[in-house]
Amino acid sequence: MRALLMLVVVLAIALVVGDRVGVVVAQNEIGRQIATEYNLPQQPRVEIGGFPFLTQAVDGNFHDIDIKVGDWSGQQISVHDLDVSLTDVSAPLSDVVHSRTSNLVAATATATALVPYDTVQTFAPEGVQSISYAPDGLRVKGTFSVEGLSVPATVVVTVAPTEDGIVVTPVSVQAAAGGPTIPLALLQQNLTFTVPLQRLPLGAQLTSIQPSANGLQVTAVAHTVRFSDLS
């Protein structure tokens, strides 16, 4: 009986070790394939969630796979900290065994990234000198043309996702010390602009934007997506 118990323990340990080795190999292979196929500047870090891995692999379905891409460029825009979370991933065992990633399909892909304010500013109208985060809202400082005069001011703006990208809209104006009061209506048309980030990898459409100290935290979502769409 003691020998049988020892055998069961050894087999259990072997299964756990084998499972962990399998998940590491799969994660590295998925990261390598994605970096190679889509010419990413560095291999993304891949994390396959759920335990045990081997049971998920045999079943051909994974609950979640997280792909940390890092820096990514697209649509003439570069973003930082790109993270793509895939849920309910269908991956046929034959594809997993033969290291084929193009046929892997996820029910949902949620991508998050940081758009630096320097990037946002490149799409701003002439006269914008800085864009920064403040507790009362996103602030745009600059010198703006008002009825033929160049007037310094700080404009509080909002950001929102649209089909064309991130739209920046003035909501209030703070005149410079000693400067004239500027009606908001005089700036709204000229100072409303769009950052043309319409989607993130896997065809994920922007759903929310949150200003932060370092830039705009954006979230995008796509449904029924393939690894081959990561471009």
**Which tens digit of pLDDT belongs to each residue from 33-72?**
666 655 666 777 877 766 555 555 655 667 778 888 888 8
Tell which wins on pLDDT, 27 or 160.
160
Q: Which of 13, 9, 47, 1 is nearest to 28 (CA)?
A: 47
Contact present, 75 and 197 (Cβ < 8 Å)? yes
| DSSP character at residue 60 | T
What are the tens digits of pLDDT across the range 71-97? 888 778 889 999 988 888 777 666 655
Residues 6+ apart with CB under 8 A from 225: 86, 105, 106, 108, 109, 202, 203, 204
pLDDT above 50 (res 100): yes
pTM for the model stands at 0.77
Summarize the confidence of residues 146-156 as an average pLDDT. 81
The continuous run of DSSP H or E covering 13 comes out as helix 2-37
Average pLDDT over residues 172-181: 73
Using an 8 Å Cβ cutoff, are 227 and 104 in contact?
Answer: yes
pLDDT attached to residue 209: 95
Is pLDDT above 50 for 7?
no
Question: Is the Cβ–Cβ distance between 200 and 81 less than 8 Å?
Answer: no
pLDDT mean over 17-32: 59
Q: How confident is the model at residue 120 (pLDDT cuts 50, 70, 90)?
A: very high
